[in-house]
Amino acid sequence: MKEYFKLNNNINIPAIGFGTWQTPDGQTAINAIKTAIDAGYKHIDAAAIYKNEKGVGLGIKEANIDRKDLFVTSKVWNEQRGYENTLKAFDNTINDLQLDYLDLYLIHWPAAAHQFENWKQLNNDTWSAMEKLYKDGKIKALGVSNFMEHHLTPLLQHATIKPTVNQIEYHPGYMQQDCVQFCNDNNIQVEGWSPLGRGDVFDNEVLKQLAHKYNKTVAQLSIRWAIQNNVIPLPKSVTPNRIIENFEVSDFNISESDMALINKIDTIANSGLRPDSVSF
Ligand SMILES: NC(=O)c1ccc[n+]([C@@H]2O[C@H](COP(=O)([O-])OP(=O)(O)OC[C@H]3O[C@@H](n4cnc5c(N)ncnc54)[C@H](OP(=O)(O)O)[C@@H]3O)[C@@H](O)[C@H]2O)c1
């Protein structure tokens, strides 16, 4: 199994990231991060809006790993869009995490036409701040999240540095194949959020049968499936045995025909969160 993918700026990114949305700040976040790093995760997916970056940062500090061996992502939230605001948001994030740099910084959601007449300009301004952070060495890679082709196209025209990553909802039963194809064509690495559909993929019969066949859990099957489709899954858990389970996916291989069966699963576990209709 691939342990790393290579981003378009030649940086290696670990093939599984550890999710932190809805992880309570404080001791729960500290314990989850330490457990994850002990289990072998080398990639943490954080965000300012998760309101737990202090706990995540303490977990990183207390964990037994060199900073250079860890890949840490965060995201600028929707209320901080624009050039100056993004620079300030980055300072807050880096202070909360107690880090000197981020490996990857993302625009969490695009500004979109249903909320902003000047949405393209707003995304461009946010991007210009990200490019400055990159040139100043404060982030090793820059990218976006929840950008569809029609948000990416104007950004790509403006950008002097291309996005390396697009983080979108991706799990069995919700593959956003058009967006993935566009990203693949443009050498933008896709990361998959809610790789377990927030727990909602577990009852699917196809997944249950295949998990049984490979002697794995549905969670492990879903995570491995994403990686074999060249998408980086970001499973989240605060439960130690699940954190460990979700990382144990390198000792089996899903056959091509079984990959096709999973690819064909009808829509399930769809969050309904779309960049062109969200209210936040
Ligand atoms: N960019 C974005 O807009 C965006 C949006 C959503 C998510 N994300 C990122 O993607 C990450 C993952 O997505 P997510 O948190 O929405 O959902 P997820 O990882 O698909 O599912 C997490 C849920 O599944 C449970 N779970 C985890 N492993 C399990 C296992 N092996 N067996 C049974 N249950 C298990 C967790 O419970 P416990 O924690 O109680 O164990 C939690 O309730 C987030 O944490 C965040 O970092 C990004």
What is the reported pLDDT for 246?
A: 98
Q: What is the layout of strands, in order, in the sheet containing 104-107?
A: 18-19, 43-45, 71-76, 104-107, 142-145, 165-169, 189-193, 232-233
pTM confidence score: 0.99
What whole-number distance in Å separates Cα of residue 32 and Cα of residue 139?
24
110 CB under 6 A from ligand 1? Answer: no
What is the reported pLDDT for 187?
A: 98
What is the reported pLDDT for 155?
A: 98
What is the reported pLDDT for 180?
A: 98
Cα of 174 to ligand 1 centre, how many Å? Answer: 15
What is the reported pLDDT for 227?
A: 98
237 CB under 6 A from ligand 1? Answer: yes
What is the reported pLDDT for 159?
A: 98
Mean pLDDT, each 10-residue run in order, the chain (280 residues)? 96 98 98 98 98 98 96 98 98 98 98 97 98 98 98 98 98 98 98 98 98 98 98 98 98 98 97 97
Could you tell me the sign of the dihedral formed by the alpha carbons of 154, 158, 162, 165, in that order?
A: negative
Residue 134 annotated as catalytic: no
* Selection from 115, 118, 140 nearest residue 130 by Cα: 140
What is the reported pLDDT for 4?
A: 98
242 CB under 6 A from ligand 1? Answer: yes
Cα of 237 to ligand 1 centre, how many Å? Answer: 6
Amino acid at 30: I
Cα of 272 to ligand 1 centre, how many Å? Answer: 16
